[in-house]
Amino acid sequence: MTEEFEEIPVKSGPRWQRKKEERPQEILDAALELFVKQGFAATKVSQIARKAGVTPGTLYVYYKNKEAILQEVVMKALRPVFYDADKILDKYKGSAVDLLFILIEKWWDAVGGESKISGVPKLISAEASNFPQLSEFYVKSILTPAFNYIRLVLEYGIRSGEFMVRNVDVTAYAILSAFHGAVLDAHTFKIGEVNGIRVGEFRDLFHDLVVHGILKQK
């Protein structure tokens, strides 16, 4: 049985004119666009290959399966964020308020607003029951590190005398939940968009609300 394809734009230019090292990124870009648009289950490997302008056989040279492609899409976008956050936290000596803003901004640029992978939280949520391994990967590789970074900032602020936090874990969870919920909403119900709330406005107000909620009163 021949597989039916929807009309998907194919990467322009003959394959032999494109550098071999560009192919993995082209595959990742094509996969992400299709995953977010069609859903993970509905997207076929052959569709990803066609959109990327490679054969399915070539795709399998670089990636074992669809799960591996999605995981690499996410981690390639977030590895630099993790690396930068680790470097900042390792040597940072300034204000905890400024540190919180720096990390919120970095995370928002990576997964929120109009970033390429901002549709991934919705994708994982929609496919969680059918692909529990993707949900486990998302929790382990994204949500847990994000939670831990928030905890570190809160603890830094407590040590410096800037923050008053009754329960670090619960506060970190509340911050992460609000942030993650906004990213989900941007691709599902769009409550913010319907009410004319711009992404940048939410990010800045989110930071202000968090800071005022935990700032130690003088």
Whether residue 214 contacts residue 163, with contact meaning beta carbons closer than 8 Å, is answered with yes
Distance from C-alpha of 169 to C-alpha of 154, rounded to nearest angstrom: 9
* C-beta neighbour count of 100 within 10 angstroms: 22
Q: Where are the domains of the chain?
A: 15-62, 73-214
Task: State the pLDDT at residue 185.
Answer: 84
- Average pLDDT, integer, range 93-121: 87
- Asked whether the predicted pLDDT for residue 197 surpasses 50, the reply is yes
Long-range contacts for 9-13 (Cβ within 8 Å, ≥24 apart)?
Answer: 9/51, 10/50, 10/51, 10/53, 11/51, 11/52, 11/53, 11/54, 12/53, 13/53
Fold of 15-62: Arc Repressor Mutant, subunit A (1.10.10)
* Confidence (pLDDT) at 202: 81
For the stretch 126-178, pLDDT in tens is: 888 899 999 999 999 999 999 999 999 999 999 999 999 999 999 999 999 99
Give me the residue label for tokens 């700032």: 215
The yes-or-no verdict on residue 34 having pLDDT over 60 is: yes
Question: Above 90 in pLDDT, residue 71?
Answer: yes
Q: What is the pTM of this model?
A: 0.83
Predicted confidence band at 113 (pLDDT cuts at 50, 70, 90)?
Answer: low
Q: Residues of the chain with pLDDT > 90: what percent?
A: 55
- What's the pLDDT at 7? 40
- Judge if 15-62 and 73-214 fold alike in CATH terms: no
Q: CA nearest 40: which of 11, 9, 63, 71? A: 71
Block residue for tokens 């994982």: 124
Q: For residue 139, what pLDDT is reported? A: 94
Specify the amino acid at residue 134: L
**Higher pLDDT pick, 22 / 152:** 152
Element (H, E) at 101: helix 96-111
Q: Residue 19's pLDDT is what?
A: 56
* Residue 16 pLDDT exceeds 60: no
- Decide yes or no: CATH 1.10.357.10 for domain 73-214: yes
**Cα 157–159–163 angle (5° rounding)?**
35
